[in-house]
Amino acid sequence: MNLISVQIPWRDGGLYMQQIIEQLEEKRKAAILGGGQHRIDIQHGRGKLTARERIDLLLDEGSFEEWDAFVEHRCTDFGMADKKIPGDGVVTGYGTVNGRVVFVFSQDFTVFGGSLSEAHAEKICKVMNQAMKVGAPIIGLNDSGGARIQEGVASLGGYADVFQLNVLASGVVPQISVIMGPCAGGAVYSPAMTDFIFMVKDSSYMFVTGPDVVKTVTHEEVTAEELGGAMTHSTVSGVCDRAYENDVETLLMVRRFINYLPANNREKPPYRPTPDRANRMEMSLDTLIPDNPNMPYDMKELIYKVADDNEFWELQPEHAQNIIIGFARMDGYSVGVVANQPKVLAGCLDIKSSIKAGRFVRFCDAFNIPILTFVDVPGFMPGTAQEYGGIIKHGAKLLFAYAEATVPKITVITRKAYGGAYDVMSSKHLRGDVNLAWPSAEIAVMGPKGAVEIIFRSDIGDEVKIADRTEQYRLKFANPFIAGSRGYIDDVIAPHATRKRVCRSLAMLREKQLDNPWRKHDNIPL
Protein backbone atom coordinates (compact mmCIF):
# COMPACT_ATOMS: atom_id res chain seq x y z
CA MET A 1 0.00 0.00 0.00
CA ASN A 2 1.46 3.35 -1.04
CA LEU A 3 1.35 6.18 1.46
CA ILE A 4 0.97 9.56 -0.16
CA SER A 5 2.42 12.51 1.75
CA VAL A 6 0.07 15.46 1.70
CA GLN A 7 1.43 18.94 2.41
CA ILE A 8 -1.07 21.20 4.15
CA PRO A 9 -0.39 24.93 3.77
CA TRP A 10 -0.19 26.02 7.45
CA ARG A 11 -0.31 29.71 6.54
CA ASP A 12 3.32 30.52 5.93
CA GLY A 13 4.87 27.78 8.04
CA GLY A 14 3.40 28.56 11.51
CA LEU A 15 2.70 32.26 11.12
CA TYR A 16 -0.97 31.68 11.85
CA MET A 17 -0.16 29.80 15.07
CA GLN A 18 2.18 32.61 16.11
CA GLN A 19 -0.65 35.12 15.67
CA ILE A 20 -2.99 33.00 17.79
CA ILE A 21 -0.35 32.70 20.54
CA GLU A 22 0.10 36.47 20.50
CA GLN A 23 -3.66 36.95 20.86
CA LEU A 24 -3.64 34.48 23.75
CA GLU A 25 -0.88 36.40 25.49
CA GLU A 26 -2.71 39.71 25.01
CA LYS A 27 -5.84 38.18 26.50
CA ARG A 28 -3.87 36.77 29.42
CA LYS A 29 -2.23 40.14 30.08
CA ALA A 30 -5.68 41.72 30.22
CA ALA A 31 -6.84 39.08 32.70
CA ILE A 32 -3.76 39.58 34.88
CA LEU A 33 -4.22 43.36 34.86
CA GLY A 34 -7.80 42.97 36.09
CA GLY A 35 -9.48 46.37 36.49
CA GLY A 36 -6.37 48.19 35.34
CA GLN A 37 -3.31 49.75 36.93
CA HIS A 38 -5.26 52.68 38.36
CA ARG A 39 -7.57 50.40 40.36
CA ILE A 40 -4.63 48.23 41.42
CA ASP A 41 -2.93 51.36 42.79
CA ILE A 42 -6.10 52.24 44.71
CA GLN A 43 -6.16 48.70 46.17
CA HIS A 44 -2.54 49.03 47.26
CA GLY A 45 -3.28 52.50 48.66
CA ARG A 46 -5.79 50.91 51.01
CA GLY A 47 -3.10 48.58 52.31
CA LYS A 48 -4.60 45.61 50.46
CA LEU A 49 -3.08 43.14 48.02
CA THR A 50 -4.64 42.26 44.68
CA ALA A 51 -6.40 38.93 44.11
CA ARG A 52 -3.39 37.44 42.33
CA GLU A 53 -0.86 38.74 44.84
CA ARG A 54 -2.87 37.03 47.57
CA ILE A 55 -2.83 33.71 45.72
CA ASP A 56 0.93 34.03 45.16
CA LEU A 57 1.45 34.48 48.92
CA LEU A 58 -0.94 31.71 49.93
CA LEU A 59 0.31 28.97 47.60
CA ASP A 60 3.74 27.42 47.14
CA GLU A 61 5.81 29.38 44.65
CA GLY A 62 5.04 28.45 41.04
CA SER A 63 2.34 25.91 41.97
CA PHE A 64 -0.78 27.84 40.92
CA GLU A 65 -2.72 26.45 37.96
CA GLU A 66 -5.39 28.94 36.92
CA TRP A 67 -8.76 27.96 35.48
CA ASP A 68 -11.23 30.09 33.53
CA ALA A 69 -8.97 33.11 33.12
CA PHE A 70 -10.87 34.10 29.96
CA VAL A 71 -14.42 33.77 31.28
CA GLU A 72 -16.52 36.91 30.78
CA HIS A 73 -19.97 37.91 31.99
CA ARG A 74 -22.98 37.58 29.69
CA CYS A 75 -24.90 40.67 30.80
CA THR A 76 -25.99 43.13 28.09
CA ASP A 77 -28.11 45.49 30.20
CA PHE A 78 -27.07 48.94 31.50
CA GLY A 79 -24.17 49.20 29.07
CA MET A 80 -22.47 46.06 30.42
CA ALA A 81 -22.01 44.61 26.90
CA ASP A 82 -19.12 47.04 26.42
CA LYS A 83 -17.59 46.40 29.85
CA LYS A 84 -16.03 42.96 29.76
CA ILE A 85 -12.83 42.01 31.55
CA PRO A 86 -11.36 38.48 31.25
CA GLY A 87 -11.81 36.55 34.50
CA ASP A 88 -14.88 38.57 35.52
CA GLY A 89 -13.70 39.56 38.98
CA VAL A 90 -12.51 36.27 40.45
CA VAL A 91 -9.30 34.26 40.03
CA THR A 92 -9.80 30.50 40.42
CA GLY A 93 -7.70 27.36 40.23
CA TYR A 94 -5.56 25.06 42.35
CA GLY A 95 -2.06 24.79 43.71
CA THR A 96 -0.21 23.48 46.74
CA VAL A 97 0.37 24.64 50.29
CA ASN A 98 3.48 22.98 51.72
CA GLY A 99 3.19 20.41 48.95
CA ARG A 100 -0.49 19.54 49.59
CA VAL A 101 -3.11 20.29 46.93
CA VAL A 102 -5.72 22.96 47.67
CA PHE A 103 -8.32 24.70 45.51
CA VAL A 104 -8.66 28.44 45.74
CA PHE A 105 -10.77 31.33 44.53
CA SER A 106 -9.76 34.95 45.05
CA GLN A 107 -12.21 37.76 44.38
CA ASP A 108 -10.75 40.74 42.52
CA PHE A 109 -12.03 44.04 43.91
CA THR A 110 -10.45 45.93 40.98
CA VAL A 111 -12.99 44.35 38.60
CA PHE A 112 -16.53 45.66 39.19
CA GLY A 113 -15.73 45.87 42.90
CA GLY A 114 -15.39 42.08 43.02
CA SER A 115 -19.17 41.84 42.58
CA LEU A 116 -20.60 38.41 41.91
CA SER A 117 -22.14 37.75 38.51
CA GLU A 118 -23.57 34.54 37.13
CA ALA A 119 -20.27 33.73 35.37
CA HIS A 120 -18.28 34.68 38.50
CA ALA A 121 -20.35 32.21 40.55
CA GLU A 122 -19.93 29.48 37.93
CA LYS A 123 -16.15 29.79 38.23
CA ILE A 124 -16.31 29.38 42.02
CA CYS A 125 -18.68 26.42 41.71
CA LYS A 126 -16.37 24.70 39.23
CA VAL A 127 -13.39 24.64 41.61
CA MET A 128 -15.61 23.65 44.54
CA ASN A 129 -16.98 20.69 42.59
CA GLN A 130 -13.49 19.63 41.56
CA ALA A 131 -12.21 19.93 45.13
CA MET A 132 -14.88 17.50 46.29
CA LYS A 133 -14.05 15.07 43.48
CA VAL A 134 -10.34 14.91 44.29
CA GLY A 135 -10.67 15.42 48.06
CA ALA A 136 -8.78 18.68 48.59
CA PRO A 137 -9.50 21.71 50.82
CA ILE A 138 -11.21 24.83 49.47
CA ILE A 139 -9.87 28.27 50.41
CA GLY A 140 -11.92 31.32 49.49
CA LEU A 141 -10.36 34.80 49.56
CA ASN A 142 -13.35 37.13 49.81
CA ASP A 143 -13.20 40.78 48.73
CA SER A 144 -16.47 41.71 47.08
CA GLY A 145 -19.05 44.45 46.93
CA GLY A 146 -21.81 41.84 46.79
CA ALA A 147 -24.21 40.82 44.04
CA ARG A 148 -23.76 42.53 40.66
CA ILE A 149 -26.83 44.70 40.53
CA GLN A 150 -26.84 44.92 36.71
CA GLU A 151 -27.53 41.18 36.50
CA GLY A 152 -30.43 41.18 38.96
CA VAL A 153 -31.76 37.79 39.93
CA ALA A 154 -29.09 35.94 37.91
CA SER A 155 -26.46 37.04 40.44
CA LEU A 156 -28.70 35.99 43.32
CA GLY A 157 -29.04 32.58 41.68
CA GLY A 158 -25.24 32.45 41.50
CA TYR A 159 -25.00 33.00 45.24
CA ALA A 160 -27.50 30.23 45.89
CA ASP A 161 -25.49 27.85 43.70
CA VAL A 162 -22.39 28.57 45.80
CA PHE A 163 -24.39 28.10 49.03
CA GLN A 164 -25.61 24.71 47.86
CA LEU A 165 -22.06 23.54 47.21
CA ASN A 166 -20.92 24.87 50.60
CA VAL A 167 -23.51 22.56 52.16
CA LEU A 168 -22.57 19.55 50.01
CA ALA A 169 -18.86 20.06 50.72
CA SER A 170 -19.44 20.42 54.47
CA GLY A 171 -17.82 17.49 56.25
CA VAL A 172 -16.32 16.25 52.96
CA VAL A 173 -13.38 18.64 52.51
CA PRO A 174 -12.23 21.46 54.81
CA GLN A 175 -13.55 24.86 53.75
CA ILE A 176 -11.71 28.01 54.84
CA SER A 177 -12.91 31.56 54.23
CA VAL A 178 -10.53 34.50 54.42
CA ILE A 179 -12.34 37.85 54.52
CA MET A 180 -9.98 40.44 53.06
CA GLY A 181 -12.39 43.26 52.22
CA PRO A 182 -16.13 43.87 52.23
CA CYS A 183 -18.48 40.91 52.55
CA ALA A 184 -22.08 42.02 52.94
CA GLY A 185 -25.66 40.95 52.35
CA GLY A 186 -26.18 37.47 50.96
CA ALA A 187 -22.42 37.13 50.43
CA VAL A 188 -21.85 36.50 54.16
CA TYR A 189 -23.74 33.22 54.16
CA SER A 190 -21.18 31.34 52.11
CA PRO A 191 -18.35 32.03 54.62
CA ALA A 192 -20.77 31.36 57.48
CA MET A 193 -21.25 27.79 56.22
CA THR A 194 -17.54 27.11 55.85
CA ASP A 195 -15.50 25.56 58.63
CA PHE A 196 -13.23 28.47 59.56
CA ILE A 197 -13.24 32.22 58.97
CA PHE A 198 -10.17 34.46 59.16
CA MET A 199 -10.38 38.24 58.88
CA VAL A 200 -8.04 41.20 58.39
CA LYS A 201 -8.21 43.97 60.98
CA ASP A 202 -9.34 47.40 59.78
CA SER A 203 -9.84 46.37 56.15
CA SER A 204 -12.45 43.59 56.21
CA TYR A 205 -16.00 43.44 57.47
CA MET A 206 -19.06 41.18 57.36
CA PHE A 207 -22.70 42.07 57.93
CA VAL A 208 -26.10 41.15 56.56
CA THR A 209 -27.27 44.79 56.44
CA GLY A 210 -24.90 47.74 56.34
CA PRO A 211 -24.72 50.81 58.58
CA ASP A 212 -26.98 52.91 56.34
CA VAL A 213 -29.78 50.35 56.41
CA VAL A 214 -29.37 49.89 60.15
CA LYS A 215 -29.68 53.64 60.66
CA THR A 216 -32.81 53.81 58.49
CA VAL A 217 -34.58 50.87 60.11
CA THR A 218 -33.47 50.98 63.77
CA HIS A 219 -32.07 54.56 64.00
CA GLU A 220 -28.79 53.19 65.37
CA GLU A 221 -25.62 55.09 64.49
CA VAL A 222 -22.85 52.56 63.86
CA THR A 223 -19.75 52.38 61.68
CA ALA A 224 -18.96 49.48 59.35
CA GLU A 225 -16.08 48.50 61.64
CA GLU A 226 -18.26 48.53 64.75
CA LEU A 227 -21.04 46.65 63.01
CA GLY A 228 -19.05 43.91 61.33
CA GLY A 229 -15.31 44.48 61.59
CA ALA A 230 -12.72 41.87 62.45
CA MET A 231 -12.60 42.78 66.13
CA THR A 232 -16.39 42.70 66.47
CA HIS A 233 -16.62 39.23 64.97
CA SER A 234 -13.58 37.83 66.78
CA THR A 235 -14.70 39.04 70.22
CA VAL A 236 -18.46 39.66 70.38
CA SER A 237 -20.21 37.51 67.78
CA GLY A 238 -17.74 34.64 67.43
CA VAL A 239 -18.27 34.57 63.66
CA CYS A 240 -14.53 34.98 63.04
CA ASP A 241 -11.99 32.40 64.23
CA ARG A 242 -8.88 34.60 64.09
CA ALA A 243 -8.15 38.20 63.07
CA TYR A 244 -4.74 39.40 61.87
CA GLU A 245 -3.09 42.74 61.22
CA ASN A 246 -2.80 42.72 57.42
CA ASP A 247 -3.16 40.65 54.25
CA VAL A 248 0.37 39.24 54.41
CA GLU A 249 0.17 38.02 58.01
CA THR A 250 -3.30 36.55 57.44
CA LEU A 251 -2.28 34.51 54.41
CA LEU A 252 0.92 33.24 56.06
CA MET A 253 -1.12 32.15 59.10
CA VAL A 254 -3.59 30.29 56.85
CA ARG A 255 -0.63 28.45 55.30
CA ARG A 256 0.43 27.31 58.78
CA PHE A 257 -3.09 26.53 59.94
CA ILE A 258 -3.95 24.16 57.10
CA ASN A 259 -1.09 21.87 58.17
CA TYR A 260 -3.25 20.69 61.08
CA LEU A 261 -6.08 19.52 58.81
CA PRO A 262 -6.48 16.38 56.70
CA ALA A 263 -7.26 17.01 53.03
CA ASN A 264 -10.67 15.32 53.24
CA ASN A 265 -12.95 13.16 55.38
CA ARG A 266 -11.33 9.91 54.21
CA GLU A 267 -7.86 10.78 55.47
CA LYS A 268 -6.29 10.38 58.88
CA PRO A 269 -4.95 13.52 60.62
CA PRO A 270 -1.66 14.74 59.12
CA TYR A 271 1.57 13.61 60.76
CA ARG A 272 4.65 15.77 61.35
CA PRO A 273 7.77 14.22 62.88
CA THR A 274 8.88 15.86 66.11
CA PRO A 275 11.96 15.60 68.32
CA ASP A 276 9.66 16.05 71.34
CA ARG A 277 9.54 12.65 73.08
CA ALA A 278 6.10 11.15 73.62
CA ASN A 279 7.06 10.03 77.13
CA ARG A 280 8.37 13.45 78.19
CA MET A 281 7.57 14.26 81.82
CA GLU A 282 6.52 17.79 82.76
CA MET A 283 7.21 18.08 86.47
CA SER A 284 5.94 21.66 86.73
CA LEU A 285 2.38 20.39 86.20
CA ASP A 286 2.44 18.87 89.68
CA THR A 287 2.12 22.40 91.09
CA LEU A 288 -0.33 23.83 88.54
CA ILE A 289 -3.46 23.33 90.65
CA PRO A 290 -3.71 25.79 93.60
CA ASP A 291 -4.28 24.41 97.10
CA ASN A 292 -7.41 26.55 97.39
CA PRO A 293 -10.10 24.91 95.18
CA ASN A 294 -11.62 28.33 94.49
CA MET A 295 -8.40 29.84 93.14
CA PRO A 296 -8.09 30.11 89.35
CA TYR A 297 -5.18 28.98 87.20
CA ASP A 298 -4.44 29.15 83.48
CA MET A 299 -5.50 25.99 81.62
CA LYS A 300 -3.48 27.14 78.59
CA GLU A 301 -0.30 26.45 80.57
CA LEU A 302 -1.30 22.78 80.72
CA ILE A 303 -2.14 22.63 77.01
CA TYR A 304 1.13 24.20 75.91
CA LYS A 305 3.19 22.01 78.23
CA VAL A 306 1.74 18.69 77.04
CA ALA A 307 1.61 19.52 73.30
CA ASP A 308 4.42 18.70 70.87
CA ASP A 309 7.08 21.42 70.93
CA ASN A 310 4.83 23.47 73.26
CA GLU A 311 2.76 24.59 70.24
CA PHE A 312 -1.00 25.20 70.33
CA TRP A 313 -3.09 26.84 67.59
CA GLU A 314 -5.98 28.46 69.44
CA LEU A 315 -9.22 29.38 67.67
CA GLN A 316 -11.54 32.19 68.79
CA PRO A 317 -9.15 33.19 71.60
CA GLU A 318 -11.04 36.42 72.36
CA HIS A 319 -14.57 34.98 72.22
CA ALA A 320 -16.23 32.93 75.00
CA GLN A 321 -12.91 32.77 76.83
CA ASN A 322 -14.31 30.44 79.50
CA ILE A 323 -13.65 27.61 77.05
CA ILE A 324 -10.53 27.00 74.95
CA ILE A 325 -10.52 25.31 71.54
CA GLY A 326 -7.80 24.73 68.99
CA PHE A 327 -5.33 22.32 67.44
CA ALA A 328 -2.16 20.80 68.80
CA ARG A 329 0.03 17.85 67.91
CA MET A 330 0.65 14.88 70.14
CA ASP A 331 3.49 12.56 69.13
CA GLY A 332 3.37 14.13 65.66
CA TYR A 333 -0.39 13.78 65.01
CA SER A 334 -3.01 16.53 64.96
CA VAL A 335 -5.55 16.57 67.78
CA GLY A 336 -8.42 18.90 68.58
CA VAL A 337 -8.23 20.36 72.08
CA VAL A 338 -11.23 21.49 74.13
CA ALA A 339 -10.63 22.79 77.66
CA ASN A 340 -12.47 24.72 80.35
CA GLN A 341 -10.66 27.90 81.42
CA PRO A 342 -10.86 28.42 85.23
CA LYS A 343 -9.48 31.97 84.79
CA VAL A 344 -12.72 33.13 83.12
CA LEU A 345 -16.13 32.70 84.78
CA ALA A 346 -14.51 29.90 86.83
CA GLY A 347 -14.70 27.73 83.70
CA CYS A 348 -18.52 27.55 83.74
CA LEU A 349 -20.29 26.49 80.56
CA ASP A 350 -22.64 29.12 79.14
CA ILE A 351 -24.44 29.72 75.84
CA LYS A 352 -21.50 31.12 73.89
CA SER A 353 -18.96 28.57 75.12
CA SER A 354 -21.30 25.66 74.38
CA ILE A 355 -21.83 26.82 70.79
CA LYS A 356 -18.13 27.54 70.31
CA ALA A 357 -16.97 24.14 71.54
CA GLY A 358 -19.87 22.17 70.04
CA ARG A 359 -19.13 23.28 66.49
CA PHE A 360 -15.42 22.58 66.93
CA VAL A 361 -16.08 19.05 68.22
CA ARG A 362 -18.29 18.35 65.20
CA PHE A 363 -15.56 19.55 62.83
CA CYS A 364 -12.99 17.27 64.45
CA ASP A 365 -15.36 14.32 64.26
CA ALA A 366 -16.15 14.99 60.59
CA PHE A 367 -12.45 14.95 59.68
CA ASN A 368 -11.16 12.09 61.84
CA ILE A 369 -9.25 14.33 64.26
CA PRO A 370 -9.05 12.89 67.82
CA ILE A 371 -10.47 15.08 70.57
CA LEU A 372 -8.49 15.78 73.74
CA THR A 373 -10.58 17.36 76.52
CA PHE A 374 -9.26 18.98 79.69
CA VAL A 375 -11.96 19.41 82.31
CA ASP A 376 -12.28 21.87 85.16
CA VAL A 377 -15.95 22.84 85.17
CA PRO A 378 -18.13 23.76 88.17
CA GLY A 379 -21.33 23.57 86.13
CA PHE A 380 -23.50 25.58 83.78
CA MET A 381 -23.75 29.33 84.26
CA PRO A 382 -26.82 30.22 86.36
CA GLY A 383 -29.05 33.27 85.85
CA THR A 384 -32.06 34.61 83.99
CA ALA A 385 -29.97 35.85 81.05
CA GLN A 386 -28.75 32.31 80.38
CA GLU A 387 -32.14 30.66 80.88
CA TYR A 388 -33.99 33.22 78.76
CA GLY A 389 -31.26 32.94 76.13
CA GLY A 390 -31.85 29.19 75.81
CA ILE A 391 -28.95 27.65 77.73
CA ILE A 392 -30.89 24.39 77.84
CA LYS A 393 -30.85 23.99 74.07
CA HIS A 394 -27.47 25.61 73.50
CA GLY A 395 -25.82 23.53 76.21
CA ALA A 396 -27.33 20.46 74.58
CA LYS A 397 -25.39 21.28 71.39
CA LEU A 398 -22.10 20.53 73.10
CA LEU A 399 -23.56 17.42 74.73
CA PHE A 400 -24.90 16.26 71.36
CA ALA A 401 -21.59 16.91 69.60
CA TYR A 402 -19.57 14.85 72.08
CA ALA A 403 -22.14 12.05 72.17
CA GLU A 404 -22.29 11.57 68.40
CA ALA A 405 -18.51 11.83 67.87
CA THR A 406 -16.90 8.52 66.90
CA VAL A 407 -13.27 9.70 66.73
CA PRO A 408 -10.87 8.83 69.57
CA LYS A 409 -11.85 10.81 72.66
CA ILE A 410 -9.48 11.28 75.59
CA THR A 411 -10.50 13.23 78.68
CA VAL A 412 -8.37 14.50 81.54
CA ILE A 413 -10.14 15.91 84.61
CA THR A 414 -7.78 18.27 86.39
CA ARG A 415 -10.00 19.62 89.15
CA LYS A 416 -13.76 20.24 89.23
CA ALA A 417 -16.26 18.17 87.26
CA TYR A 418 -19.64 18.91 88.77
CA GLY A 419 -23.20 18.03 87.85
CA GLY A 420 -24.45 17.89 84.29
CA ALA A 421 -21.32 19.67 83.10
CA TYR A 422 -19.32 16.58 84.14
CA ASP A 423 -21.49 14.49 81.84
CA VAL A 424 -21.23 16.94 78.95
CA MET A 425 -17.44 17.27 78.91
CA SER A 426 -16.69 14.00 77.11
CA SER A 427 -17.44 11.74 80.06
CA LYS A 428 -17.19 7.96 79.92
CA HIS A 429 -20.99 7.89 79.59
CA LEU A 430 -20.71 9.71 76.23
CA ARG A 431 -18.41 6.99 74.86
CA GLY A 432 -15.19 8.57 76.05
CA ASP A 433 -12.43 6.12 75.15
CA VAL A 434 -9.88 7.00 77.82
CA ASN A 435 -10.93 9.06 80.83
CA LEU A 436 -8.15 10.06 83.20
CA ALA A 437 -8.13 12.20 86.34
CA TRP A 438 -5.52 14.00 88.34
CA PRO A 439 -5.47 13.35 92.11
CA SER A 440 -6.90 16.87 92.54
CA ALA A 441 -10.05 15.97 90.58
CA GLU A 442 -13.38 16.58 92.29
CA ILE A 443 -16.13 14.58 90.59
CA ALA A 444 -19.50 15.15 92.23
CA VAL A 445 -23.09 16.23 91.72
CA MET A 446 -22.16 19.69 92.95
CA GLY A 447 -19.55 21.53 95.00
CA PRO A 448 -19.07 20.36 98.62
CA LYS A 449 -20.44 23.54 100.21
CA GLY A 450 -23.59 23.57 98.07
CA ALA A 451 -24.18 19.88 98.71
CA VAL A 452 -23.79 20.27 102.49
CA GLU A 453 -26.18 23.22 102.60
CA ILE A 454 -28.82 21.07 100.93
CA ILE A 455 -28.22 17.87 102.88
CA PHE A 456 -27.81 19.62 106.26
CA ARG A 457 -30.21 22.47 105.78
CA SER A 458 -30.93 22.65 109.48
CA ASP A 459 -27.28 23.52 110.19
CA ILE A 460 -27.29 26.66 108.03
CA GLY A 461 -26.25 29.54 110.24
CA ASP A 462 -23.76 27.49 112.21
CA GLU A 463 -20.60 28.33 110.24
CA VAL A 464 -18.36 25.96 112.21
CA LYS A 465 -20.67 22.99 111.63
CA ILE A 466 -21.12 23.80 107.94
CA ALA A 467 -17.35 24.18 107.46
CA ASP A 468 -16.71 20.88 109.23
CA ARG A 469 -19.34 19.02 107.20
CA THR A 470 -18.05 20.64 103.99
CA GLU A 471 -14.56 19.31 104.66
CA GLN A 472 -15.96 15.86 105.45
CA TYR A 473 -17.95 15.88 102.21
CA ARG A 474 -14.90 17.00 100.26
CA LEU A 475 -12.75 14.19 101.66
CA LYS A 476 -15.43 11.55 101.07
CA PHE A 477 -16.95 12.57 97.73
CA ALA A 478 -14.94 15.37 96.07
CA ASN A 479 -12.20 13.13 94.69
CA PRO A 480 -11.69 10.88 91.67
CA PHE A 481 -11.84 7.56 93.52
CA ILE A 482 -15.60 7.03 93.73
CA ALA A 483 -15.90 7.61 89.97
CA GLY A 484 -12.87 5.33 89.55
CA SER A 485 -14.54 2.60 91.60
CA ARG A 486 -17.46 2.65 89.16
CA GLY A 487 -15.21 2.51 86.10
CA TYR A 488 -16.10 6.06 85.04
CA ILE A 489 -12.42 7.00 85.36
CA ASP A 490 -9.90 4.65 83.77
CA ASP A 491 -7.00 5.79 85.91
CA VAL A 492 -5.83 8.47 88.32
CA ILE A 493 -2.52 9.81 87.04
CA ALA A 494 0.23 12.10 88.25
CA PRO A 495 -0.03 15.48 86.48
CA HIS A 496 3.57 15.26 85.27
CA ALA A 497 2.74 12.07 83.34
CA THR A 498 -0.14 13.60 81.39
CA ARG A 499 1.67 13.88 78.05
CA LYS A 500 2.96 10.31 78.20
CA ARG A 501 -0.45 8.86 79.07
CA VAL A 502 -2.28 10.88 76.41
CA CYS A 503 0.24 9.96 73.68
CA ARG A 504 0.02 6.26 74.60
CA SER A 505 -3.76 6.40 74.56
CA LEU A 506 -3.80 8.07 71.14
CA ALA A 507 -1.44 5.43 69.76
CA MET A 508 -3.72 2.68 71.09
CA LEU A 509 -6.79 4.35 69.54
CA ARG A 510 -5.27 5.06 66.14
CA GLU A 511 -7.21 2.28 64.40
CA LYS A 512 -10.41 2.72 66.43
CA GLN A 513 -13.60 1.70 64.60
CA LEU A 514 -17.01 2.90 65.77
CA ASP A 515 -20.11 3.53 63.69
CA ASN A 516 -23.35 5.25 64.66
CA PRO A 517 -26.68 3.68 63.62
CA TRP A 518 -27.68 4.48 60.02
CA ARG A 519 -29.70 7.65 59.54
CA LYS A 520 -30.20 10.24 56.86
CA HIS A 521 -28.78 12.84 59.24
CA ASP A 522 -29.07 13.73 62.89
CA ASN A 523 -31.22 16.52 64.28
CA ILE A 524 -28.89 18.48 66.54
CA PRO A 525 -30.76 21.00 68.74
CA LEU A 526 -30.00 24.15 66.74
Query: Catalytic amino acids?
Result: 185-186, 420-421
- Rounded Cα–Cα distance for residues 153 and 82 (Å): 21
Those residues with Cβ within 8 angstroms of residue 481's Cβ, 6 or more apart along the chain or in another chain = 492
Please tell me what DSSP assigns to residue 426: T
Residue 507 CB neighbours (<10 A): 14
Measured CA distances, 67 to 71, 90, 104, 155, 370 (Å): 9, 10, 10, 20, 36
Angle in degrees, CA 93, 96, 98, rounded to 5:
160
What is the distance, to the nearest Å, from the Cα of residue 319 to the centroid of all Cα atoms in its chain?
Answer: 13
Between the two ends of the chain, the Cα-to-Cα distance in Å is 77
Beta pairing, strands 442-444 & 409-418:
parallel
In terms of Cβ atoms closer than 10 Å to its own Cβ (0-12, 13-18, 19+), residue 69 is: middle
- The amino acid present at 104, given as its one-letter code, is V
3-state class (DSSP) for residue 106: strand
Helix (H, G, I), strand (E, B) or coil at 283: helix
CB < 8 Å & 24+ apart, contacts of 286-294: 286/494, 286/495, 286/496, 288/414, 288/495, 289/414, 289/415, 289/438, 289/440, 289/495, 293/415, 293/416, 293/442
Distance (Å) of CA 23 to CA 35, 70, 71, 79, 257:
19, 12, 15, 25, 40
Containing 336, the helix (H) or strand (E) segment is strand 333-340
Nearest-10 Cα torsion for 7, 10, 11, 17: -170
Q: What angle do CA 32, 38, 44 make, to 5 degrees?
A: 80
Residues 6+ apart with CB under 8 A from 507: 278, 331
CA pair distance 443, 437, nearest whole angstrom: 9
